[in-house]
């Protein structure tokens, strides 16, 4: 194992220093909480009776107090394919707990919305703030002083960040994240993309598009492209919060069940009363956050985590920003190419060596911290191996060289020399640019802009032929305080068509684009947002805008200081958006995590 990379060391030390006061306050908090909520015997008999009344066959074990009682927080629903397998999980997890003298209860459920279902719909305006709702729901679940550990059942976009943010406020508890795995591979990703673009050009019918989409998203399990959901799973591995190698084992398999069983046994063993206490708040420290960022960069993960990672870090008292992410990106090479950055999906990624290969390469080259506290039986080096079964027993094996060098390469021969997440700054604010999926000749786009205030207006202009030229499309008033910062993924097909016609095209927005955004250069999450007079509110059609990932520039030649900002849009009602008014009003900026909950909670 190599010495730690100089940039990794430098950024880590800066994060530690910037977090000194907040991290100390956090550790003090969870120490107090551990003392206050650490022993059920101190809880009144009436309270305990309420908690035990529904436990049936586990009542006697709970009354005896000899074993750990594990709280299960589940994001199960069967509309979201990734979470459909969780329906029967509590029954199995309780059986696994009894095997080691422990008990388990479903402590609570959280919402789990699907960005894939709400793309382009008004429900997407609730998406980002659902993360905070999930964190709040997790806190409610764990607020009952009944648990010696916790299992988090969740996978997708806002769900894992929300679960982690909520669980971290109960950081005295050992906690393990339990994924359910990806669905089998569907039609080739290039074919899916081809039909989408044909539909955008009016050359495919709606029936043909639906048939194509259903051949891609076809069964229970996580969607197989490397978007935010699978980036979540990668990051949980990089932080040591999964049983090693759990991320991409498919649902319903014997190996999946063996890993779930191990998760229950481990969380029961990591409690405060044992000799292997591993509380979540000590697992998620500055080095674990840096490891998560490194994994994001090395695998070309979702841009959504430029928002989620700072928010998750804040919940643990760690201050991490886009300067840190961008500086790490310059030192971390891209060693994985998974769709939409490459041709293969996460199943093919796993078959080629997967997370075991990635972590092994990063550790060997000094690009990951080996000394983080994990939920595994050993240290972080265990995550550089892959799980398997030997006579039905769970074992871990060494991972050899990449089985597919179109998907996984060593650090010494990467796909790209950097991690592909650039910070852009200038007189239009600060923004993120994901270079890993964009051809290098498109890293600099300078053209007159066309300004829009919603996605449908872009689509209408495209259909009318008004964008058939070199253009920087600006979509403003899409930030957290304006409308909840919805993903703008539906912009990708028409902008991709313009690019394929030979035009130089870029997107600038204070909204979000998902991990599936693809090949169009985009300056996203622009902050300060347009609402309230941010720079984007002063742009006009025809202003020349420059987006450059080479120099890190986001600017216009127009004199914005002489202009009045465009009027803020009115708040829309319907689809429950009015219920989230307080979250919009008090949300902070994208770089801080876009969270009203954290901002008003003093975190």
Residue ranges of the annotated binding site are 156, 223
What tokens does 410 get? Answer: 């060593």
- CA–CA distance, 478 with 536 (Å, rounded to integer): 11
CA distance 110 to 166: 11
Tallying the residues shown for the chain, one arrives at 603
Q: How far does the chain reach from its first CA to its final CA, in angstroms?
A: 36
Structure-token pair, residue 64: 């005896």
Rounded Cα distance, 517 and 504, in Å: 17
Binding-site residue set for [4Fe-4S] cluster: 156, 223
Query: Which pair of tokens denotes residue 107?
Result: 């402590």
User: Are the CB atoms for 176 and 266 separated by under 8 Å?
Assistant: yes
Q: What is the torsion angle, in degrees rounded to the nearest 10, for the CA atoms of residue 128, residue 130, residue 131 and residue 136?
A: 150
The token duo for 489 is 């993924």
- d(Cα 251, Cα 257) in Å, to the nearest integer? 8
Q: How far is CA 402 from CA 230, 234, 358, 406, 412, in A?
A: 20, 17, 9, 9, 13
Three-state SS at 547: strand
Task: Please list the residues that pair with 509 across neighbouring strands.
Answer: 475
577-597 exposure pattern, b = at least 16 Cβ within 10 A, e = fewer: beebeebbeebbbbbbbbbbb
DSSP secondary structure code for residue 296 in this structure: H
**In terms of Cα–Cα distance, which of 548, 322, 518 is closest to 436?**
518
**For residue 106, is it left (φ>0), alpha (ψ between -120 and 50) or beta?**
beta
- Pairing outcome for strands 505-509 and 522-527: parallel
Structure tokens at 216: 């891609």
């Amino acid at each position: 194992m190599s010495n730690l990379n100089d940039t990794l060391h430098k950024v880590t030390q800066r994060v530690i220093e910037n977090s000194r006061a907040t991290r100390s306050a956090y550790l003090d908090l969870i120490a107090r909480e551990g003392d206050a909520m650490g022993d059920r015997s101190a809880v009144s008999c009436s309270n305990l009776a309420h908690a035990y009344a529904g436990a049936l066959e586990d009542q006697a074990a709970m009354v005896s107090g000899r074993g750990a009682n594990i709280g299960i927080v589940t994001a199960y629903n069967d509309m979201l394919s990734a979470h459909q397998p969780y329906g029967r999980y509590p029954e199995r997890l309780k059986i696994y707990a009894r095997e080691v003298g422990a008990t388990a209860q479903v402590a609570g459920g959280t919402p789990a919305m699907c960005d894939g279902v709400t793309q382009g719909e008004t429900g997407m305006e609730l998406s980002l703030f659902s993360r905070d709702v999930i964190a709040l729901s997790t806190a409610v679940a764990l607020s009952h002083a009944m648990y010696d550990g916790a299992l988090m059942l969740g996978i997708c976009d806002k769900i894992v960040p929300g679960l982690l943010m909520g669980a971290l406020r109960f950081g005295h508890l050992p906690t393990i994240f339990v994924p359910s795995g990806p669905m089998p591979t569907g039609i080739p990703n290039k074919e899916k993309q081809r039909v989408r673009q044909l539909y955008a050009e009016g050359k495919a019918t709606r029936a043909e598009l639906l048939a194509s989409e259903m051949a891609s998203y076809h069964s229970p399990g996580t969607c197989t492209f490397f978007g935010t959901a699978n980036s979540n799973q990668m990051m949980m591995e990089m932080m040591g919060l999964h049983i090693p190698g759990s991320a991409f084992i498919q649902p319903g398999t014997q190996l999946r069940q063996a890993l779930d069983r191990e998760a229950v046994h481990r969380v029961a063993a990591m409690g405060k009363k044992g000799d292997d206490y591993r509380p979540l708040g000590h697992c998620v420290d500055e080095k674990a956050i840096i490891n998560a960022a490194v994994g994001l960069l090395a695998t070309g993960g979702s841009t959504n985590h430029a928002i989620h990672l700072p928010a998750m870090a804040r919940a643990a008292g760690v201050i991490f920003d886009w300067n840190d992410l961008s500086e790490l990106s310059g030192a971390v090479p891209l060693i994985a190419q998974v769709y939409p950055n490459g041709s293969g999906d996460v199943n093919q990624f796993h078959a080629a060596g997967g997370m075991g290969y990635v972590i092994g390469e990063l550790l060997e080259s000094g690009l990951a911290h080996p000394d983080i506290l994990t939920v595994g039986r050993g240290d972080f080096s265990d995550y550089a191996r892959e799980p398997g079964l030997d006579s039905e027993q769970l074992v871990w094996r060494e991972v050899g060289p990449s089985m597919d060098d179109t998907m996984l390469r060593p650090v010494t021969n990467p796909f790209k020399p950097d991690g592909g997440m650039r910070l852009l700054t200038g007189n239009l604010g600060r923004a993120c640019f994901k270079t890993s999926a964009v051809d290098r000749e498109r890293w600099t786009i300078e053209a007159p802009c066309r300004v829009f205030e919603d996605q449908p207006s872009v689509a209408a202009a495209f259909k009318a032929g008004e964008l058939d030229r070199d253009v920087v499309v600006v979509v403003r008033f899409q930030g957290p305080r304006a409308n909840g910062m919805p993903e703008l993924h539906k912009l990708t097909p028409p902008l991709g068509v313009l690019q394929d016609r030979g035009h130089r095209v870029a997107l600038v927005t204070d909204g979000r684009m998902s991990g599936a955004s693809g090949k169009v250069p985009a300056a996203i999450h622009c902050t300060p947002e347009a609402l309230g007079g941010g720079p984007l509110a002063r742009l006009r059609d025809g202003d020349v805008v420059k987006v450059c990932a080479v120099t890190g520039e986001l600017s216009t030649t127009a004199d914005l200081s002489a202009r009045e900002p465009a009027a803020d849009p009115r708040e829309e009602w319907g689809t429950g958006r009015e219920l989230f008014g307080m979250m919009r009003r008090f949300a902070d900026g994208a770089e801080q995590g876009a969270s009203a909950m954290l901002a008003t909670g003093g975190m």
